[in-house]
């Protein structure tokens, strides 16, 4: 693929993803609402003044923005999609709703663009290491064309047609959110009952309760380290989107409903910019427990 690749959104996740792409030898032209975040990446990445300037005649465009409305605004209201070269590959890696993915794919195809929804999982550490799990929806030939651009960022699994990548990310997110809630309750119960949470976590890591959430976010809860890798407000966005899909399919998912409510309360109590592991704070608040310093 010749010419620069446009990269829109260089925040917590997009920044290291964009840097890894550039390090692989791809010429990257990037845009971010805060231009200093692009400039800070270095590595020969060109900073564009607008989304349309980044996308101008590019043969491929990667999008890593906060949500579906942000993607639609930047791509279609601000002119980035229309600025791309005819037949360009549009790869949206943002976490967006299933319906949003289908609508954006239709809008892209109406402009003659090729579409891939390819959201990711693994957090900021995997983004930096280039080991993200990438869940891709789209035509087989378009996934194959996107693969050289996705490979520097992680491992891709082609799920199915357009929209199925976005759906899989929502499935990932309800699994993550529900497990965070379970680990939060477990460690809160341990401490209230007089067991040392760090030792409880160590013991659980050797058995069937072991998980990446217990390993990484359980330690965050114990250390009370809530600097965001994945902000709680974005976790809430995803649980809400998953509930909308479930409702459209006539499904009742009571655990998802409960966990969504917990994250809603955390965000309502000013925890939206904390890591989603900070759900522990909401459980402490509900139980009248003052958080440890």
* The domain boundary residue, chosen from 160, 185, 215: 160
Does residue 227 lie within any of the structural domains?
yes
Give me the CATH number covering residue 266.
1.10.1040.10
Q: 144 with 29, same domain?
A: yes
> 135: helix, coil or strand?
strand
The pLDDT value given to residue 3: 76
Does residue 130 lie within any of the structural domains?
yes
Give me the CATH number covering residue 10.
3.40.50.720
Q: 87 with 218, same domain?
A: no
Does residue 32 lie within any of the structural domains?
yes
* The domain boundary residue, chosen from 120, 145, 160: 160
Does residue 268 lie within any of the structural domains?
yes
Answer whether 44's CB lies under 8 Å from 73's CB.
Answer: no
Answer whether 239's CB lies under 8 Å from 199's CB.
Answer: no
Pick the catalytic residue: 37, 73, 169, 219? 169
Answer whether 114's CB lies under 8 Å from 89's CB.
Answer: yes
Q: 126 with 12, same domain?
A: yes
Residue (of 153, 81, 99, 141) closest to 116 by Cα position: 141
Does residue 292 lie within any of the structural domains?
no
| Span 76-134, pLDDT tens digits | 999 999 999 999 999 999 999 999 999 999 999 999 999 999 999 998 999 999 999 99
The predicted model scores a pTM of 0.91
Per the structure, the count of domains in the chain is 2
Q: 179 with 123, same domain?
A: no
Q: 150 with 175, same domain?
A: no
Q: 139 with 205, same domain?
A: no
Give the mean pLDDT of 52-74: 97
Q: 208 with 147, same domain?
A: no
Q: 244 with 177, same domain?
A: yes
Say if residue 2's pLDDT is above 70.
Answer: no
Q: Please name the residue that has the structure tokens 């459980």.
A: 283
Residue 67 domain boundaries = 5-160
The pLDDT value given to residue 291: 64
The pLDDT value given to residue 94: 96
| Span 12-59, pLDDT tens digits | 999 999 999 999 999 999 999 999 999 999 999 999 999 999 999 999
CB-based contacts of 247, cutoff 8 Å, min separation 6: none
Does residue 291 lie within any of the structural domains?
no
> 133: helix, coil or strand?
strand
Q: 25 with 136, same domain?
A: yes
169 is an active site residue: yes
Quote the CA–CA distance of 177 and 254 in Å, as a whole number: 13
Q: 109 with 199, same domain?
A: no
Q: 20 with 69, same domain?
A: yes
The two structure tokens encoding residue 82: 């229309």
- CA separation (Å) from 150 to 21, 238, 284? 8, 23, 40
* The domain boundary residue, chosen from 109, 128, 160: 160
Q: 256 with 171, same domain?
A: yes
Does residue 293 lie within any of the structural domains?
no
CB-based contacts of 261, cutoff 8 Å, min separation 6: none
Residue (of 215, 214, 181, 185) closest to 289 by Cα position: 185
Does residue 100 lie within any of the structural domains?
yes
């Amino acid at each position: 693929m010749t010419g620069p690749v446009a990269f829109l959104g260089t925040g917590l996740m997009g920044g290291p993803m964009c840097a890894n792409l550039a390090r692989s030898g791809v010429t990257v032209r990037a845009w971010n609402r805060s231009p200093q975040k692009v400039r800070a990446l270095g590595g020969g990445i060109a900073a564009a003044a607008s989304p349309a300037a980044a996308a101008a005649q590019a043969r491929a465009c990667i999008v890593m923005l906060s949500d579906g409305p942000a993607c639609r605004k930047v791509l279609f209201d601000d002119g980035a999609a229309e600025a791309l070269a005819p037949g360009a590959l549009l790869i949206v890696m943002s976490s967006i709703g299933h319906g949003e993915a289908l609508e954006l794919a239709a809008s892209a195809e109406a402009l003659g663009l090729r579409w891939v929804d390819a959201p990711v999982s693994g957090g900021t550490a995997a983004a930096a290491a280039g080991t993200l799990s990438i869940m891709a929806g789209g035509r087989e030939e378009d996934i194959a064309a996107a693969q050289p651009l996705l490979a520097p960022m992680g491992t891709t699994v082609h799920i199915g047609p357009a929209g199925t990548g976005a759906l899989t990310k929502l499935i990932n997110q309800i699994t993550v959110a529900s497990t965070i809630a379970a680990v939060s309750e477990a460690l809160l119960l341990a401490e209230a009952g007089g067991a040392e949470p760090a030792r409880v976590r160590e013991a659980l890591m050797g058995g069937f309760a072991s998980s990446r959430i217990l390993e990484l976010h359980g330690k965050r809860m114990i250390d009370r380290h809530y600097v965001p890798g994945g902000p709680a407000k974005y976790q809430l966005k995803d649980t809400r989107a998953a509930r909308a899909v479930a409702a459209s399919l006539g499904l009742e998912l009571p655990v998802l409903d409960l966990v969504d409510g917990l994250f809603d309360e955390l965000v309502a109590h000013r925890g939206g910019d904390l890591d989603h592991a900070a759900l522990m704070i909401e459980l402490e608040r509900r139980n009248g427990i003052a958080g440890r310093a």
